[in-house]
């Protein structure tokens, strides 16, 4: 009897491992990719040999990311709209910037976490990489409203920043707007959040529980992977309103790029980044899943199926890098003063 029981348990265990292995293969064949476990392999994906990531650049970039003097008013930083304590977003439907101005197109702030894996930046994909993306919000009137020259004058008026740039890039570094914003981008590259989902794809069959595996299977079978794939589970330009009109299309005037394509948001840390969609009109993740079914896939996703998918999506909440809020260097008498016009 003990032998029969033991053989039965072994058979069940083997069946479980086979099922997990089969799902792992199915997920990979569907275009889903894991964040590599190896730091060396990860660096191959995120680093740039022409401007390599170093500890000095990352620390300086972090300071600039949290630096409110990068804005015209001196009170808005990158972290204002991309709050690293709030999933890399601001938690409101439309981003709010200079002079308490809401985004004129009613656009929602995308998360900065894992943005290094995106093929395109901004909802309309107008920037191909983070260094270029970082320049936009700093200058935009409804955001930080700081002209390039003002940013350069502010940073170059602070001796500690000058020294940190020299330490990071060498004594002959030119501290211009492009160098300042590309340094912010280097810090942003490190904001990678591996999750239990990645552990599963990397071979740990027990990283997801049975309900999460069922949700992953439903996610794949319903066709969600047609847009939410790759390492970012998003971040590529895709047609929007493929099968039906988005329920809140009338909120804001955003229509995508010139071809009507919209950047697919990442699903990583999705439970932390409500409200959803480009104009932030849906707060319930389950409702967002069902909206995607009708709008993009032309199918009705039942409450049960939506809940299964949401159970899987919760497993995409990743392990965040520890971010210690930096102490910023003092202004000097020559530092341009805040302006509110």
Binding-site residue ranges for heme c: 78, 81-82, 98, 224, 227-228, 292
Residue 162 near residue 175 (C-beta atoms within 8 A): yes
Is 143 marked active-site? yes
**C-beta contacts of 273-278 below 8 A and 24+ residues apart:** 273/87, 273/88, 273/89, 273/111, 274/91, 275/91, 275/92, 275/93, 275/108, 276/108, 277/108, 277/246, 277/248, 278/107, 278/108, 278/123, 278/252, 278/254
| Residues 170 and 51 sit within 8 Å (Cβ to Cβ) | no
Annotated binding site: 78, 81-82, 98, 224, 227-228, 292
- Give Cβ neighbours of residue 248 (< 8 Å, ≥ 6 apart): 277, 279, 281, 282
Q: Residue 287: phi, psi to the nearest 5?
A: -65, -35
CB-based contacts of 311: which residues, under 8 Å, 6+ apart?
A: 211, 212, 214, 215
User: Of residues 24, 37, 59, 143, which has the active-site annotation?
Assistant: 143
Known catalytic residues are: 143
């Amino acid at each position: 009897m003990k032998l029969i029981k033991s053989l039965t348990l072994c058979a069940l265990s083997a069946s479980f491992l086979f099922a997990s292995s089969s799902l792992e293969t199915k997920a990979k064949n569907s275009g889903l990719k894991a964040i590599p476990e190896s730091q060396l392999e990860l660096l191959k994906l995120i680093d740039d040999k022409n401007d390599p990531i170093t500890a000095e650049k990352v620390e300086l970039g972090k300071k600039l990311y949290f630096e409110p003097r990068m804005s015209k008013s001196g009170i808005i930083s990158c972290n204002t709209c991309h709050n690293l304590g709030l999933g890399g977003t601001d938690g409101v439907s439309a981003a709010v910037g200079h002079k308490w101005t809401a985004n004129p197109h009613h656009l929602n702030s995308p998360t900065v976490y894992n943005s290094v894996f995106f093929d395109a930046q901004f909802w309309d994909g107008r920037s191909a990489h983070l260094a270029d993306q970082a320049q936009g919000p700093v200058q935009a009137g409804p955001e930080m409203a700081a002209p390039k020259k003002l940013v350069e004058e502010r940073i170059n008026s602070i001796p500690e920043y000058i020294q940190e740039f020299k330490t990071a890039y060498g004594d002959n570094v030119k501290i211009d707007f492009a160098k300042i914003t590309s340094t912010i981008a280097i810090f942003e590259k490190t904001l990678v959040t591996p999750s239990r989902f990645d552990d599963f794809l990397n071979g740990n069959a027990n990283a997801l529980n049975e309900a999460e595996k069922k949700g992953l299977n439903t996610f794949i079978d319903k066709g969600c992977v047609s847009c939410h794939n790759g390492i970012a589970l998003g971040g590529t330009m895709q047609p929007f309103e493929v099968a039906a009109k988005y329920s809140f299309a009338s909120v804001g005037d955003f229509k995508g790029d010139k071809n009507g394509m919209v950047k697919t948001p990442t699903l990583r840390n999705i439970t932390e980044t409500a409200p959803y969609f480009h104009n932030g009109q849906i707060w319930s993740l389950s409702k967002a899943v069902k909206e995607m079914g009708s709008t993009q896939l032309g199918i009705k996703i039942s409450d049960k199926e939506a809940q299964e998918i949401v159970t899987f999506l919760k497993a995409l909440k990743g392990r965040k890098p520890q971010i210690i809020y930096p102490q910023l260097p003092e202004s000097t008498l020559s530092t341009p003063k805040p302006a509110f016009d």
